[in-house]
Structure 1
């Protein structure tokens, strides 16, 4: 991180980032770690548009959209939110078919897990720098559903994962590209319906995913693992529709 900032500024950045990392969702091995990218060096906060300024009309509209989504939330929504909470390959089974699970396709699942961890770490670094409060931090009486994270709001990690995984999986199953991105949009929207993210957080996650994906596609280690996942899918004979 030395090239990003130095001295007191660097120390002020590292402290909140360390807190966010300690609060991150547990990875398969218990600790998040990067494989293909240098997450802090991604510096997503330098390329993402800033979130709406506190007190602005845009910020008020953002909150009103969250409140409307929370009021309209149904038990069906809550079941879907719970089912889609983990950031894993299995979440895309409804699009790609029942064969796309960690048990059936361990190489592909491991690739998506590594992609998740790289993306999550890059997002956490951006969250630490941007430090936007969550909707329920600003409105504690908001009827949220599920866990209230102590991390900040912008960009959404789940939205980032949804779009990032959709981008990677589209390389593996290109005929499902449109359906994958449609699912990614709903996967991110779940976080707004739960009351844990603003719509602008979701849009920022979409942008973050594109930036991270571009870095991944230039990494030879990622391309090697992508080729292995391609071979696994071919060996399983698991192209959708078979």
Structure 2
């Protein structure tokens, strides 16, 4: 997987390789009836378990109160300038699905046409969910609208901790893997991932530092799952399916 090896933060790769090899990673089969049944029965099916690594060691804590106030002022300036089009996109980007990238990949990028690709990214979504909870539960950072009544959110949000952003984690993790599947579109893919994160700030539901932390967490996950046989097999199956559907070599 050349793209991930080259672009998923080489310094992070070197520093985390030892961590990845010192813990037992899942060695499940590729996408199959067995896997689909397990996904239906299990609380979560992931490529990385929170028991394997404490991601908060690599994220670091959220900004202090003074920095948070500066972030709120920045968000208020964005709020005053946001357009109806930005509001519409921020609302739509609440959906955590890799198929939100269809706008830059093409109309054929749909789950009904790409079941193996859908399965890969559903598992990545679950992986991001369980890992992001480490930081959310540890720091319990209060969401911007709950911290300052002047923030008027337009996007949906939960009452869970704000740091790191789960949407940014998923969008950037999806971008890293999707860009490795389709390196021909890597630039557009990462631009769209950045837009996902920005829309959580424009939408009034995450601080900029939440989004930055989500991007760092996504990179950490992307590096560590490279040695998981289940990810390797699911990635290979999705790559063959997706590239065939797009008539690419």
Q: What TM-score does the superposition give when structure 1 sets the normalisation length?
A: 0.81
Other-structure match for 2:12: none
Contact 1:40 1:122 in 2 (8 A): no
Aligned to 1:215: 224
Conserved in 2, the CA contact under 8 Å of 1:34 and 1:121? no
Q: Which residue of 2 aligns with 1:228?
A: 237
Question: CA RMSD for the aligned pairs?
Answer: 2.0
The answer to whether structure 1 residue 50 and structure 2 residue 31 are counterparts is: no
> Which consecutive unaligned segments of at least 5 residues does structure 2 have?
1-38
Residues 53 and 30 from structure 1, CA distance in 2 versus in 1: closer, same or farther, beyond 3 angstroms? farther
Q: Does the Cα contact within 8 Å between 2:99 and 2:109 map onto a contact in 1?
A: yes
Work out the CA distance in 2 between the residues paired with 1:30 and 1:144.
Answer: 35
Structure 1 residue 61: deviation in Å? 1.4
Is the contact made by 1:133 and 1:153 (CA closer than 8 Å) also made in structure 2?
Answer: yes
The separation in 2 between residues aligned to 1:40 and 1:136, in whole angstroms, is 32
1:19-46 alpha-carbon deviations (Å, 9 max, x no partner): xxxxxxxxx9698613211035332211
Corresponding residue to 1:90 among 88, 99, 122 = 99
Displacement of 1:104 after TM fit?
1.1
Tell me if structure 2 keeps the 8 A contact 1:37–1:118: yes
CA contact (8 A) 1:89 1:102 kept: no
TM-fit CA distance, 1:237: 3.6
Match of residue 7 from structure 1? none
Aligned length: 211
CA spacing shift, 1:153–1:99, aligned 2, 3 Å:
same
Distance in 1 between the 2:41 and 2:146 partners? 27
Distance in 2, Cα, partners of 1:147 & 1:40: 30
1:171-212 deviation per Cα after TM superposition (whole angstroms, max 9, x unaligned):
110111111111110101111011100001111111000001
Report which stretch shifted further, 155-164 or 32-41: 32-41
- How far apart in 1 are the matches of 2:187 and 2:196? 14
Task: Identify if the C-alpha distance between structure 1 residues 117 and 127 changes in structure 2 by more than 3 Å, giving closer, same or farther.
Answer: same
Deviation at 1:128, TM superposition (A): 0.2
TM-score by length of 2: 0.79
Structure 1 residue 221 displacement after superposition: 0.7
| Pair 1:80-2:86 in alignment | no
Question: Which of 198, 203, 213 in structure 1 is aligned with 2:212?
Answer: 203
Match of 1:175 among 159, 178, 184: 184
Q: What are the ranges of 5 or more consecutive residues in structure 1 without an aligned counterpart?
A: 1-27
Give distance in 2, aligned partners of 1:71 and 1:149.
23
